[in-house]
Amino acid sequence: MLRVWGRLSSVNVQKVVWCCDEIGLDYERIDAGGTFGRNNTPEYLAMNPNGLVPVIEDDGFVLYESNAIVRYLAAKHATGTLWPAEAHARADVDRWMEWQATGYTPSMLQAFWQLVRTPPDQRDAAAVEASRAKGEKHSAILDAHLKGREFIAGNAFSAADIVIGCAAHRWLNLPMAREPRPELERWYAMLKSRPAGRQVTSLQLT
Ligand SMILES: N[C@@H](CCC(=O)N[C@@H](CS)C(=O)NCC(=O)O)C(=O)O
């Protein structure tokens, strides 16, 4: 059976479990990272020398890096749906996955750490504001892109909706004021209504 190591509070682990749920895979998730530890044992470091979650093991094949895992699972089990077969459509999905990993999630990281994982008396208001501004810039790009599109890559749900959906879940649930983003909010509500999206989109930020 497919094994997934990682705590569910990790946005990167969330991508993998959502992908598994979309495909309908049978998998075992083993808590690791954060207060669960386990990710600095020699056995774990042999799977991922970075000591980070998630990691998967699929019939002896070990893989880390959340977006690489989502691409692998989608290509193996869902080519033509989550992972388009046609080169241009696939590149579009791939591009938006890169945008999530290198732009959107990093933009909101400080706001998340300060507002969710830092005690109120130790928070850095300037860091929150700088991160909020960067997150707004990215959210405006996403909102504009979604105008006239049902999904990130056009008219079909794809791996890009999963990874950006995890980032948007974090952004839209941060305890702070945000600009209204009607297209982003419409798309996120649709994600929440997908049975496979519920596990992640019903999580509280911790
Ligand atoms: N680029 C990596 C980043 C992985 C990462 O930063 N994971 C964090 C959780 S989101 C982690 O393992 N933190 C240490 C811990 O949980 O103990 C990926 O996408 O998988």
| Residue 44 near residue 64, CB atoms below 8 Å | no
| Residue 68 near residue 52, CB atoms below 8 Å | no
Q: What is the CA radius of gyration of the chain?
A: 17
Give the number of the atom of ligand 1 that is nearest the alpha carbon of residue 53.
Answer: 12
The reply to whether ligand 1 has any atom less than 6 angstroms from the CB of 39 is yes
**Vertex 90: Cα angle to 151 and 70 (nearest 5):** 80
Q: Which residues pair with 151 in a beta bridge?
A: 154
Average pLDDT over every residue of 107-122:
98
Q: How far apart are CA 143 and CA 187, in angstroms?
A: 9
Q: How far apart are CA 29 and CA 103, in angstroms?
A: 28
Tell how far the Cα of 29 is from the centroid of ligand 1, in angstroms.
15
pLDDT tops 90 at residue 16: yes
The reply to whether ligand 1 has any atom less than 6 angstroms from the CB of 11 is yes
The reply to whether ligand 1 has any atom less than 6 angstroms from the CB of 6 is no
pLDDT of residue 72: 98
Nearest Cα to 29, choosing from 21, 131, 184, 60? 21
Average pLDDT over every residue of 76-95:
98
The burial of 40, by beta-carbon neighbours within 10 Å (0-12 exposed, 13-18 middle, 19 or more buried), is given as exposed
pLDDT tops 90 at residue 51: yes
pLDDT of residue 152: 98
Give the number of the atom of ligand 1 that is nearest the alpha carbon of residue 15.
Answer: 19
pLDDT of residue 105: 98
The alpha carbon of 53 is separated from its chain's Cα centroid by a whole number of angstroms, namely 12
pLDDT tops 90 at residue 32: yes
pTM: 0.98
pLDDT tops 90 at residue 154: no
**Sign of the CA dihedral 79, 20, 191, 105?**
negative
Q: How far apart are CA 162 and CA 15, in angstroms?
A: 6
Q: Which residues pair with 63 in a beta bridge?
A: 56
Tell how far the Cα of 12 is from the centroid of ligand 1, in angstroms.
6
